[in-house]
């Protein structure tokens, strides 16, 4: 029995949207789903108990960060990441390649792997398919991501072609050493913004028969229309009986479009990052809490939200905390934003099950104010 299985509940008849359940050794969760990001074994400012209370079924963590600090040997000694951070839901770990590009001082990529300097102390480090798999097996995450190169945007065709071919060879190397029966290894589709390379990447990875597939190399600065075009082309070629994960996405409008194209899993640092910048996410767009308009606004952040912040505090109070640089203000906004995304995905899933996804999508996009209010 594979560690990770996908159960289709309802396919939208008019679009790629679908509702399902993903089963893992640390519990099952409904899809489409948004996964809170806990980069350094903590969802910033939020406790595991609060994550459970808001309905989070799976969180993300990072090979790159935990490899550098505290090191995967310590986490293994602690009994794995679930024990170390006292989270008994599912965990997905990213493989480290992406963070090397965005954080480490990149030295060089070879067939063997990536040599770089740690962003923490500048020491020389090496990550490869084998090292990434060893770290993720030490961490004991339920879903392990293959070690890949996220092709930057823009990239010329020859670079994208060579890099994608190497990512496929790296995926094979990951599969050979990822031997834990309690963990599922997901392949990551690359190919840049070239449809023929995307197709080749899909075909080569599907050939290896992974329990799930991620669409990588998107949300890397390309125009949204280009992201949707690549998604449209890529997702329809992926197996219907396996989960599809769109990495690093995203804002509510991108979540709706991703679901429409058949994506089941999403992650983004957005909700906690904008919270730390004093911004609340609502159905009609973002609220910049420092704005004077909230000075005497004694309503909750969002009418009808059942989160701890909205049940107990007003916009005026949260504005005060943010302006006074009180940590509690940022915590309340993180709790609200994460709960908002859980509610958002739940409503979207219900609309698919009740065959009104098209109406949900039109309604949401008509009311969503893309800019910050």
Ligand X SMILES: Nc1cc(CSc2ncc[nH]2)c2nc(N)[nH]c(=O)c2c1
Confirm or reject binding of residue 336 to Zn ion (CB under 5 A).
yes
Confirm or reject binding of residue 231 to ligand X (CB under 6 A).
no
Site string for Zn ion, 280-309 (x = CB under 5 A): -------------------------x-x-x
Q: In the complex, what is the shortest distance from the CB of residue 150 to ligand X, in angstroms, rounded to a whole number? A: 3
End-to-end CA distance of the chain: 49
58 Cβ contact list (under 8 Å, min separation 6): 22, 24, 29, 33, 35, 89, 90, 91, 92, 142, 143, 265
Confirm or reject binding of residue 257 to ligand X (CB under 6 A).
no
What are the catalytic residues? Answer: 94, 267
333 Cβ contact list (under 8 Å, min separation 6): 274, 275, 276, 278, 279, 280, 289, 301, 309, 318, 322
Q: In the complex, what is the shortest distance from the CB of residue 305 to Zn ion, in angstroms, rounded to a whole number? A: 3
Report the alpha-carbon distance of residue 100 to residue 321 in Å, rounded: 35
Tell me, by CB under 6 A, how many residues bind ligand X: 19
Confirm or reject binding of residue 264 to ligand X (CB under 6 A).
no
Confirm or reject binding of residue 344 to ligand X (CB under 6 A).
no
Q: In the complex, what is the shortest distance from the CB of residue 62 to ligand X, in angstroms, rounded to a whole number? A: 5
Rule CB under 6 A: choose which of 184, 243, 248, 262 binds ligand X.
248
The runs of H, that is alpha helices, within 72-188 are 72-77, 81-85, 97-102, 129-139, 157-177
Tell me, by CB under 5 A, how many residues bind Zn ion: 5
Looking only at residues 280 through 299 of this chain, which bind ligand X when binding is defined by CB under 6 A? none
Stretch binding ligand X (CB under 6 A), from 216-224, 227-235, 256-264, 293-301: 216-224
Confirm or reject binding of residue 217 to ligand X (CB under 6 A).
yes
Q: Where are the beta strands (DSSP E) in the chain?
A: 5-11, 18-24, 27-31, 33-35, 58-62, 90-94, 105-109, 114-117, 124-127, 143-145, 184-189, 212-215, 244-246, 265-267, 279-282, 285-288, 369-372
Rule CB under 6 A: choose which of 136, 219, 282, 342 binds ligand X.
219
Residues forming the site for ligand X (CB under 6 A): 37, 60, 62, 94-95, 97-98, 145, 148, 150, 188, 216-220, 247-248, 267
């Amino acid at each position: 029995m594979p560690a990770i299985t996908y159960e289709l509940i309802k396919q939208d008849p008019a679009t790629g949207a679908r509702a399902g359940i993903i089963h893992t050794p640390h519990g099952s969760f409904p899809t489409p789903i948004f996964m809170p990001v806990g980069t350094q074994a903590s969802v910033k400012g939020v406790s595991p108990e609060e994550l459970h209370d808001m309905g989070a079924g799976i969180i993300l963590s990072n090979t790159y960060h935990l490899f550098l600090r505290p090191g995967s040997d310590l986490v293994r000694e602690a009994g794995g990441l679930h024990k170390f951070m006292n989270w008994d839901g599912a965990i997905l770990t990213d493989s480290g390649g992406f963070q090397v590009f965005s954080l480490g001082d990149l030295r060089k990529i070879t067939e063997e792997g990536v040599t770089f300097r740690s962003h923490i102390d500048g020491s020389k480090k090496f990550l490869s398919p084998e090292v990434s798999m060893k770290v993720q097996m030490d961490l004991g995450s339920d879903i392990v991501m293959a070690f890949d190169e996220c092709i930057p945007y823009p990239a010329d065709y020859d670079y994208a072609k060579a890099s994608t071919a190497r990512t496929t060879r790296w995926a094979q190397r990951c599969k050979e050493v990822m031997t834990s029966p309690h963990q599922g290894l997901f392949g990551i589709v690359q190919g840049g913004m070239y449809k023929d390379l995307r197709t080749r990447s899909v075909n080569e990875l599907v050939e290896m028969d992974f329990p799930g597939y991620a669409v990588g190399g998107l949300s890397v600065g390309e125009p949204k229309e280009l992201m949707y075009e690549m998604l449209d082309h890529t997702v329809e070629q992926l197996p219907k009986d396996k989960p599809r994960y769109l990495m690093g996405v995203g804002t509510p409008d991108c979540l709706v479009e991703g679901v429409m194209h058949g994506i089941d899993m999403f992650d983004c640092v957005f909700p906690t990052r904008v919270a730390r910048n004093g911004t609340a996410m609502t159905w009609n767009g973002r609220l910049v809490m420092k704005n004077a308009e909230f000075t005497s606004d004694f309503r909750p952040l969002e009418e009808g939200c059942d989160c701890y912040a909205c049940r107990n505090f007003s916009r005026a109070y949260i504005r005060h905390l943010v302006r006074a640089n009180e940590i509690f203000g940022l915590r309340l906004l993180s709790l609200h934003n994460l709960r908002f995304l859980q509610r958002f995905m739940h409503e979207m899933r219900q609309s698919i099950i009740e065959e009104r996804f098209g109406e949900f999508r039109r309604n949401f996009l008509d009311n969503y104010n893309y800019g910050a209010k």
